Amino acid sequence: MGKHLIDLDEAALRAARAELGTKTIKETVNQALRGAGRDQDEAVKKSLDLLAQADLAAREQAWR
């Protein structure tokens, strides 16, 4: 794990702490970073589920 000196938006940090239920800056930032891609992962999963349920023509008929 690395150490970084950064400027943080204090209002955004307070909002993130409240939403995530974290106590420390380190815990808040790490949890937010880990969760950054979750919304996109869920959107991809929903799209794949929708595609899996689609009533598609048989492959044999695809080029005719």
pLDDT in tens, the chain (64 residues): 888 999 999 999 999 999 999 999 999 999 999 888 777 778 888 888 888 888 877 777 666 6
What confidence score (pLDDT) does residue 25 get?
95
- Split into its structural domains, the chain has a count of 1
Going by C-alpha positions, the residue among 41, 42, 14 that lies closest to residue 28 is 14
Whether the CB-CB separation of 17 and 10 falls below 8 Å is answered with no
Q: Is there a domain that residue 27 lies in?
A: yes
- State the residue range of the domain holding 38: 10-54
What confidence score (pLDDT) does residue 38 get?
77
Q: Is there a domain that residue 24 lies in?
A: yes
Q: Is there a domain that residue 33 lies in?
A: yes
What confidence score (pLDDT) does residue 45 get?
86
Q: Is there a domain that residue 61 lies in?
A: no
Going by C-alpha positions, the residue among 34, 9, 14, 37 that lies closest to residue 24 is 14
- The structure tokens listed for 15 are 């909002």
In the chain, the N- to C-terminal Cα span, in Å, equals 57
- Whole-number Å distance between alpha carbons of 54 and 9: 45
What confidence score (pLDDT) does residue 64 get?
61
Question: What is this structure's pTM?
Answer: 0.58
